[in-house]
């Protein structure tokens, strides 16, 4: 049994101050990384008394890291002087183990050493406590960190919601309301991206433009409601034939459509065009009470063959 260094208080006196009231609800867990059993036990006792729901204990850096990864505590109390890897190393590992996340780290420093504090913050720590730890200070720091943590979590939630709303808005702005196909704005952006990708990957890209024969006469004869229904049917068909995740079916203009087919050589696109023509014939798009069928004509074919 070796004697404890003189700066370690054999026990910390309880303050009776509570970190959170039992009715405040949300559980809170703290990982204590401290190699000296007496100091660790005192901290654990104080944390329990302060109302921390779960206290995890580690006596060296390696087991601290393992516990952190498996249990994801809400806060870490981290001794600087540890056998083997020191607290600075542990702090850096913890930060690397949670990209995009943030768990508060409070260093435990044996001496009131300014350099320790500096190095601790550099290594990714958020605050420090001088041993022997005064319970009232410990509880105050826990409360401050928890407040920051709660604020950050609210911010993350709001940011995620904003991101989703933005995505939804972008989709709405790039979709044609009548057919549900990508509109011209969306086509411009996606085509641009696919051309770059085709060049980068050295893969062929096909762009097919097509329109509906005599659509204006059709609209004049049978009315816009019938015309719109016809466009919707064509839209459904084009969506169905664009089965690969990166295929794009777009409504380019009034009765003009565009298909972007990545990684499709000329031969493949001819087969595709023939199949599309067949399907359209089978669909027999025609106004109610009429025999007049409407035909989709492929009028331009572009191929990009990057070398």
Cβ within 8 Å of residue 302, ≥6 positions away: 206, 207, 208, 209
Our CB check for Mg ion shows the closer of 34 and 247 to be 34
Report the alpha-carbon distance of residue 238 to residue 257 in Å, rounded: 9
Our CB check for Mg ion shows the closer of 34 and 255 to be 34
Can you give the binding site for Mg ion, defined by CB under 5 A? 35, 79, 81
Our CB check for Mg ion shows the closer of 82 and 249 to be 82
Sign, CA torsion 96/101/107/113: positive
Nearest approach, Cβ of residue 203 and Mg ion (Å): 58
Our CB check for Mg ion shows the closer of 81 and 95 to be 81
Our CB check for Mg ion shows the closer of 117 and 149 to be 117
What b-and-e string marks burial along 63-88, b requiring 16 or more CB atoms within 10 Å of the CB?
ebbebbeeeebbbbbbbbbbeeebbb
**Residue with smallest beta-carbon separation from Mg ion:** 81
Please state the three-class secondary structure of 105-130 as a single string: EEEEECCCCHHHHHHHHHCCCCEEEE
Nearest approach, Cβ of residue 8 and Mg ion (Å): 8
Nearest approach, Cβ of residue 131 and Mg ion (Å): 8
| Pairing outcome for strands 248-251 and 256-262 | antiparallel
Nearest approach, Cβ of residue 134 and Mg ion (Å): 18
Place of tokens 């995009």: 100
Our CB check for Mg ion shows the closer of 115 and 282 to be 115
Collapsed DSSP state (helix, strand, coil) of residue 82? coil
Name 4's bridge partners.
none
Nearest approach, Cβ of residue 47 and Mg ion (Å): 17
Nearest approach, Cβ of residue 86 and Mg ion (Å): 9
Cβ within 8 Å of residue 156, ≥6 positions away: none
């Amino acid at each position: 049994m070796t004697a404890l260094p003189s700066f370690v208080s054999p026990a910390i006196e309880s303050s009776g101050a509570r970190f959170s009231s039992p009715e405040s609800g949300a559980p809170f867990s703290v990982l204590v990384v401290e190699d000296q059993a007496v100091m660790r036990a005192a901290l654990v006792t104080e944390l329990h008394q302060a109302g921390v729901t779960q206290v995890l204990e580690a006596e060296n850096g390696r087991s601290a890291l393992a516990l952190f990864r498996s249990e994801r505590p809400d806060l870490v109390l981290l001794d600087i002087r540890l056998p083997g890897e020191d607290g600075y190393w542990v702090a850096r590992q913890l930060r690397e183990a949670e990209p995009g996340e943030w768990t508060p780290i409070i260093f435990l420093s044996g001496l009131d050493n300014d350099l320790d504090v500096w190095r601790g913050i550099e290594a990714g720590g958020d605050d420090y406590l001088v041993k022997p730890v005064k319970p009232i200070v410990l509880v105050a720091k826990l409360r401050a960190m928890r407040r920051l943590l709660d604020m950050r979590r609210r911010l993350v939630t709001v940011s995620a919601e904003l991101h989703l709303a933005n995505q939804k808005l972008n989709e709405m702005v790039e979709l044609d309301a009548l057919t549900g196909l990508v509109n011209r704005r969306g086509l411009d952006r996606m085509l641009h991206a696919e051309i770059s990708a085709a060049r980068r990957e050295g893969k062929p890209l096909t762009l097919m433009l097509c329109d509906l024969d005599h659509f204006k006469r059709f609209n004049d004869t049978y009315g816009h409601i019938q015309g719109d229904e016809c466009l919707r049917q064509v839209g459904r068909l084009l969506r169905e034939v664009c089965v690969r995740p990166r295929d794009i079916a777009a409504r380019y203009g009034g009765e003009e459509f565009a298909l972007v087919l990545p990684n499709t050589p000329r031969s493949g696109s001819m087969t595709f065009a023939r199949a599309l023509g067949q399907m359209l014939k089978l669909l027999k798009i025609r106004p109610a009470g009429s025999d007049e069928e409407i035909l989709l004509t492929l009028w331009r074919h572009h191929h990009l063959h990057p070398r």
